[in-house]
Amino acid sequence: MHKTAIGIIGASGYSGVEATHILAAHEKVELRLVTSDRWQGEAVSRRLGTMGAVGQLKYAPLDKSAELARECEVVLLATPAESSLQLVPGLLAAGVRVIDLSGSFRLRNLASYPAFYNFTHSAPELLEQAAYGLPELFRERIPGAKLVANPGCYATACALSVAPLLRAGLLDEGSLIFDAASGTTGAGRKGSEDLSFSEVDEDFRAYRVLRHQHTPEIAQTLAGVAGRTVPLTFTAHLLPLKRGILVTAYGRLRPGATAAEARAALEQAYASCPFLTVEASPDAVNLKGVVGTNRCTVAVAADTTGYDPGRVVVTAAIDNLVKGAAGQAVQNLNLMMGWEETLGLSTLRGFNP
Amino acid sequence: MHKTAIGIIGASGYSGVEATHILAAHEKVELRLVTSDRWQGEAVSRRLGTMGAVGQLKYAPLDKSAELARECEVVLLATPAESSLQLVPGLLAAGVRVIDLSGSFRLRNLASYPAFYNFTHSAPELLEQAAYGLPELFRERIPGAKLVANPGCYATACALSVAPLLRAGLLDEGSLIFDAASGTTGAGRKGSEDLSFSEVDEDFRAYRVLRHQHTPEIAQTLAGVAGRTVPLTFTAHLLPLKRGILVTAYGRLRPGATAAEARAALEQAYASCPFLTVEASPDAVNLKGVVGTNRCTVAVAADTTGYDPGRVVVTAAIDNLVKGAAGQAVQNLNLMMGWEETLGLSTLRGFNP
Amino acid sequence: MHKTAIGIIGASGYSGVEATHILAAHEKVELRLVTSDRWQGEAVSRRLGTMGAVGQLKYAPLDKSAELARECEVVLLATPAESSLQLVPGLLAAGVRVIDLSGSFRLRNLASYPAFYNFTHSAPELLEQAAYGLPELFRERIPGAKLVANPGCYATACALSVAPLLRAGLLDEGSLIFDAASGTTGAGRKGSEDLSFSEVDEDFRAYRVLRHQHTPEIAQTLAGVAGRTVPLTFTAHLLPLKRGILVTAYGRLRPGATAAEARAALEQAYASCPFLTVEASPDAVNLKGVVGTNRCTVAVAADTTGYDPGRVVVTAAIDNLVKGAAGQAVQNLNLMMGWEETLGLSTLRGFNP
Amino acid sequence: MHKTAIGIIGASGYSGVEATHILAAHEKVELRLVTSDRWQGEAVSRRLGTMGAVGQLKYAPLDKSAELARECEVVLLATPAESSLQLVPGLLAAGVRVIDLSGSFRLRNLASYPAFYNFTHSAPELLEQAAYGLPELFRERIPGAKLVANPGCYATACALSVAPLLRAGLLDEGSLIFDAASGTTGAGRKGSEDLSFSEVDEDFRAYRVLRHQHTPEIAQTLAGVAGRTVPLTFTAHLLPLKRGILVTAYGRLRPGATAAEARAALEQAYASCPFLTVEASPDAVNLKGVVGTNRCTVAVAADTTGYDPGRVVVTAAIDNLVKGAAGQAVQNLNLMMGWEETLGLSTLRGFNP
């Protein structure tokens, strides 16, 4: 069987490692290129324990990424936003299809880049071309795309939690609140005192409150779904664990709308989505049910205490490195190539003991 | 110096242990009684490593609590709500002053007990007598009280986060959201599969969504502060750590009100409160800064992203076993007895390495 | 392709769950039966998120295990020792091949059962038939076996650490010390105060010191390898993490033997073992390199400090639920059935982020 | 009451913070100086939440340490070994007494410094003057000392585990094994990828195997106790927790010696030691019983399995930052000054919930 040649640029970061694990077992893929300065010259098997052919592959230096990537049909960029911005134009010009895991091509509003990413976008003409790769909400644009902007981890979980309710017109026009918490791998592989075990363990705190860079991305997605601007507040917290994002989203039901309708909206929206599961109660949505997999679990409840009539709460959980990064990238790859959506992803097992 | 005889009923639970640690070093207290079936007959030093006289004290059986407590001037009840309900009338009748750490005497609305605590209140005449022991908000009623209802851990953190803003009239009349997360000691000392290490570690989830029993307690406090009913939603989450509660509270500024006014309201309200610290940013409020101490740290920020004009976020952190239970009980004891508020509490050190 | 019908008895324990995950993706296996009282009647997909056919399988009640197992060619028993002891004779009589994950059929010395397992063995005639399923050391007996006694998790790691050195005659005749530490899943799925998160997190301790039930199992294996009785001490510790066993083994080199020879002995012994990796230094052997996989990493060093001439230290790491239980069971299944040893195991990926 | 002026050099490291917490509550001490570049100019209260006078103290720059320390009667050096080596001669010359928490003055054998600490000792004449500050074993030299070398954390736990057995002549002359594990604060406050939460959590491994710098320190102590060279192997492991060291020590009883004698030796040796507790079984020695305190718990057992006759196992636990560093430094301060040994230390409470 013909296998498609794929490369991973930035393969030693946590998302790059995850992508390597997944693609190593993907039946239609030949993983031909992995680049990393950190692990340059080493075999994948020494670093990841991968058995078989991929285990023999050696990490190439990052600065050869552009050149070596030309032998691939598709590359995944698991690089910082600035690096992606530099690499993408050349890759596309060389006919290589790109799935970019950074934030570089996610936002259509150019002004958001200096405001939230601290750079001026150098390839604005590509923003229109880029398909925002959140298949459960915007499946149609991905198959033909040359460039997929893989969504942010928080943005994925936030959008999936409430989009069906917005689409179904069940929420009032007030602002939505997304209170989210992530494991430490969301911050990437690095050595900083703030992320040291002695500082993070046994602690919990919010960060970048009211200034997180995923805010415009969530807003853009919700506007796309609702057909109107949706005001929102997003808060990120750092959990003392490695993987997973839990979002607790707060909205208000439009007068007359019911909790049953909200649940039905989730179920209908996700009935044909292989990675989405609607749980019976927000209490049943947890990290251990999704970590290690490409799944997203969601559930909704409405106020019964009488203390906040009309309040609706939706919880959603994903693995930030899988559905929030590498897994979703492979899901996008499958759709881009016309393959079955779950290829290479259906056998991922949870880490839950 | 005369020392006041104090007893702790239910001394082997996590709050009881914490109270024992604190009172063992309290200069005006003679800890005369600790009761526990679990540790009956053992010396405190064997269980807690306590040096000095308190270390020699032995745990008495729980069913002797009522009888032995009569030798104390004040007792702390670190017992389940139903046990407190049974013990309190007799203790008061015997002239013993009581600080009850359970929920039994916190709520004035009798209907809340069957709805949220699953029992019908058997001593409704005492509810009016009970002083709600949250000194930073309701200091005046504590000194003369015979019965103090020590606030719930979540309720303490939620109330302290926004009360000054409500009192200052800075918030609009929409509902408030309290998104909170607690360590596992909040669930008490017990062996259940759900609380086993293998299930809790590396996980995070919400629980009792839109039906948590601290909801009416928070509502009662906010109404007391605001002079009106304040609609609210409260969500609890379970963190994979032992101690600490972080609340992220969401409100909306009244038109014309500013972030600076909100911060000033916090600072003025807590200027004379020795355990309250206003941090410069919500990012600076974290568990490691308060765990092990009776402190509560708070901070406020308003939206600057433009995605939710008027949004205000307040974070607050406490140690659920100290400011959320035993420490606050000792603070109440100090006020009840006319002692300095910080006695026995000012030397508590954080566990932060 | 013909698929072999397999059953898992005791499928809701942590080893049973792991076996389900692995067999669900095994190309030569049809997982036909999973039994569990806890999850009786539920679909595997609801509990484990398994996609595909296995996800539709429902848990049958435990007391139907014996009856339903007759439709399987092989069953894995992930049950307590006493349950295995009751089930095995009937299964074998019905022509079902058995891989038993409990300790029931591991020891040839009958007296060890009352001494270390608190029961008298009721089927001593089967002990001789049982093949001890540690393929790296005793591969030859597994293919024809009707009954495989799957080794204990600690016993696996201890034996694999030093067996090659013993076989090569590199160690003196003094006693060996195995200082080992395990994650909490080694204690099984249960709710006890001792295993609650609040008690286990941030703690570390030894348990069952000088009386652990894996001691005779390790001794039996080492005697089999060395051709003589090998005195040994084994100590188990409980780690605040979910999965993984690390063993630090201490021996003494026979006069004249060198560290280089010790390392060569490991490398030669494991050269053809697909799951065994010899690392360059004991410092490089860690849990994160093996957890989630069927791998065992080992490394050896000899004293260079001058403070203990002749001392040799070997470290070994495995995932207690995979190479220490379900993964090794599948490895044994593969060998029993004449399949490639790594089937269903080569694609297991590490949980290391 | 006259208070003794004390300074802490290097007050923002984990040991320095711990010393600050302890000395802030020490009734005979006026903490007059804390130096730290990291926190220079900030008040102690902002960093540590300390109430009272010490909270108002501000961190002075490190390079003023030598000058400012002259106003103190005693200084604690919580600095790297090289910094201590530079500071100590001048401080002593200025009449300031010094308790050095680094390894700079612990070893009498000059050759050990280049071999294990990578520097040549620049003040060998001071090594003889330095009192090794392990009061339970060498109490007599501390009172008059001008310079106390505060023991290493691992070395403290290892020495306290077996010293009474050696002194009592209960062990044979074979080598001893110390298998130890420490929390991450033992590595100090720093940002390195190896110590990041994402790398350390859920992991466990040995490090610096057969080359750890505490080896000669343990050997020196044991030789001092036994009156002969005691061969030994020491292994350190990194635990996924913040504080605490557990040592599992392995020796062999001299023919005729019994477990009861071993236990009696521990009890007699430590009967008058306020911080030492002999537990009934090695299983009862754990981190949660000592973390936060200056305690050391120990217990001994001998082989009853028959698999290793004569084997004796001793476990010992301490908090690496308290009994292993700052607490022991204050214990030494108390003895140096002729104060009661437990001053400022008896009220330290455990962090165990």
CA dist., res. C286 & res. C296, Å (int): 10
For residue D207, being part of any structural domain is answered with yes
Residue range D135-161, pLDDT digits in tens: 999 999 999 899 999 999 999 999 999
Looking at the partner chain, which of A49, A342, A350 has a beta carbon nearest the beta carbon of C49?
A: A350
Helix (H, G, I), strand (E, B) or coil at D60: strand
* DSSP string across A225-239: HHSS---EEEEEEE-
Q: Is the same domain home to A98 and A183?
A: no
Cβ pair D353:B25 closer than 8 A: no
Last residue of a domain, one of B63, B96, B129: B129
Average pLDDT over residues A149-173: 98
Q: Is the same domain home to B119 and B221?
A: no
Average pLDDT over residues C64-85: 96
Residue D353: the pLDDT is 75
Of residues D181, D284, D212, D153, the one with CA closest to residue C248: D181
Domain with D186, as residue range(s), is 154-320
CA dist., res. B79 & res. B102, Å (int): 6
Residue range A52-89, pLDDT digits in tens: 999 999 999 999 999 999 999 999 999 999 999 999 99
**What are the chain D neighbours of B51 within 8 Å (beta carbons)?**
274, 342, 346-347
Residue D292: the pLDDT is 96
Average pLDDT over residues C281-292: 97
For residue C346, being part of any structural domain is answered with no
Q: Is the same domain home to C176 and C94?
A: no
CA dist., res. C321 & res. C153, Å (int): 8
Interface test with B, best of D349, D351, D352 (most B CBs within 10 A): D349
Of residues B79, B82, B33, the one with CA closest to residue B58: B33
Distance from CA of D314 to the nearest CA of B (A): 20
Give the DSSP letter of residue D206.
Answer: E
Active site residue: A72, A153, A158, A296, which one? A153
Question: What would the two tokens of residue A87 be?
Answer: 């690499």
Contact D33, D68 (CB under 8 A): yes
Cβ pair B350:D48 closer than 8 A: yes
Helix (H, G, I), strand (E, B) or coil at C48: helix
Contact C26, C330 (CB under 8 A): yes
Share in percent of chain B as helix, strand, coil (round to 5):
35, 20, 40
Distance from CA of D78 to the nearest CA of A (A): 18
Query: Higher-confidence residue: A77 or C1?
Result: A77
Question: What would the two tokens of residue D180 be?
Answer: 């130890």
Q: Which residue blocks in chain B are alpha helix, DSSP H?
A: 14-24, 44-48, 53-56, 65-68, 81-93, 112, 135-138, 153-167, 197-200, 215-226, 259-270, 327-336
Please state the φ and ψ torsions of residue C312, each to the nearest 5 degrees: -130, 135
Domain count, chain A: 2
Residue C351: the pLDDT is 86
For residue C345, being part of any structural domain is answered with no
Q: What percent of chain D has pLDDT over 70?
A: 100
Q: Which sign does the torsion angle of CA D13, D16, D18, D21 carry?
A: negative
Q: How do strand B29-35 and strand B4-9 relate by DSSP bridges?
A: parallel
Q: Which chains touch D (3 or more CB pairs under 8 A)?
A: A, B, C
CA dist., res. D185 & res. D319, Å (int): 10
pLDDT band at residue A351 using 50, 70 and 90 as cut-offs: confident
Which residues share a beta bridge with D121?
none
Mean residue pLDDT across chain A: 96
Q: Which residue blocks in chain C are alpha helix, DSSP H?
A: 14-24, 44-48, 53-56, 65-69, 81-93, 112, 135-138, 153-167, 197-200, 215-226, 259-270, 327-336
* Cα radius of gyration rounded to whole Å, chain A: 20
Run of H or E including A270: helix A259-270
CA dist., res. C79 & res. C87, Å (int): 10
- Cβ within 8 Å of residue A277, ≥6 positions away: A270, A295, A296, A297, A298, C49
DSSP strands (E only) in C227-295: 232-238, 245-252, 276-278
Q: Is the same domain home to B264 and B164?
A: yes
Summary count for chain A: helices (H), strands (E): 12, 13
Cβ pair D207:C283 closer than 8 A: yes
Contact A205, B291 (CB under 8 A): no
Q: Is the same domain home to A301 and A204?
A: yes
Q: Is the same domain home to B176 and B298?
A: yes
The side-by-side arrangement of strands in the sheet containing B311-318 is B205-207, B232-238, B176-182, B245-252, B311-318, B296-302, B276-278
Residue range D175-229, pLDDT digits in tens: 999 999 999 999 999 899 999 999 999 999 999 999 999 999 999 999 999 999 9
CATH number of the domain within which B101 lies: 3.40.50.720
CATH number of the domain within which D261 lies: 3.30.360.10
Q: How do strand D296-302 and strand D311-318 relate by DSSP bridges?
A: antiparallel
For residue C216, being part of any structural domain is answered with yes
B352, amino acid identity: N
Residue range C244-265, pLDDT digits in tens: 999 999 999 999 999 999 999 9
For residue B190, being part of any structural domain is answered with yes
Residue D352: the pLDDT is 80
Last residue of a domain, one of B66, B95, B129: B129
Task: Quote the Cα angle for C126-C128-C131, to 5°.
Answer: 95
**What are the chain B neighbours of C187 within 8 Å (beta carbons)?**
198
Distance from CA of B208 to the nearest CA of D (A): 24
Which residues share a beta bridge with D23?
none
Residue C353: the pLDDT is 74
**What are the chain C neighbours of D201 within 8 Å (beta carbons)?**
241
- Ranges of residues in chain B whose predicted pLDDT is under 70: none
Interface test with A, best of C42, C51, C279, C331 (most A CBs within 10 A): C51
Please state the φ and ψ torsions of residue A296, each to the nearest 5 degrees: -130, 125
Residue B156: the pLDDT is 98
Run of H or E including A296: strand A296-302
CA dist., res. B264 & res. B299, Å (int): 11
Cβ pair C49:A185 closer than 8 A: no
Q: Is the same domain home to B172 and B313?
A: yes
Q: Which chains touch B (3 or more CB pairs under 8 A)?
A: A, C, D
Residue range C116-140, pLDDT digits in tens: 999 999 999 999 999 999 999 999 9
Residue A352: the pLDDT is 79
Q: Is the same domain home to C110 and C175?
A: no
Residue B320: the pLDDT is 98
Residue C33: the pLDDT is 98
For residue C31, being part of any structural domain is answered with yes
Last residue of a domain, one of C114, C129, C144: C129
For residue B81, being part of any structural domain is answered with yes
Helix (H, G, I), strand (E, B) or coil at D247: strand
HSE toward the beta carbon, residue A201, CA cutoff 13 A: 26
Cβ pair C283:D311 closer than 8 A: no
Share in percent of chain C as helix, strand, coil (round to 5):
35, 20, 40
Q: Is the same domain home to B203 and B307?
A: yes
Integer angstrom CA distances of residue A238 from A203, D252, D295: 8, 48, 33
For residue B351, being part of any structural domain is answered with no
Run of H or E including A21: helix A14-24
Active site residues of C: 153
Helix (H, G, I), strand (E, B) or coil at C307: coil
Helix (H, G, I), strand (E, B) or coil at D14: helix
Cβ–Cβ contact D114 with C under 8 A: no
Q: Is the same domain home to C168 and C304?
A: yes
Of residues A343, A253, A259, the one with CA closest to residue A301: A259
Cβ pair D242:A201 closer than 8 A: yes
Contact D317, D244 (CB under 8 A): yes
CA dist., res. C322 & res. A95, Å (int): 43
- Given a cut of 80, whether residue D1 has pLDDT beyond it is no
Tell me which chain D residue has its CA closest to the CA of residue C229: D307
Cβ–Cβ contact C289 with A under 8 A: yes
Q: Is the same domain home to A223 and A297?
A: yes
Tell me which chain A residue has its CA closest to the CA of residue B198: A353
Residues in chain A: 353
Give the DSSP letter of residue A301.
Answer: E
Q: Is the same domain home to C169 and C36?
A: no
Place of tokens 């106390």: D148
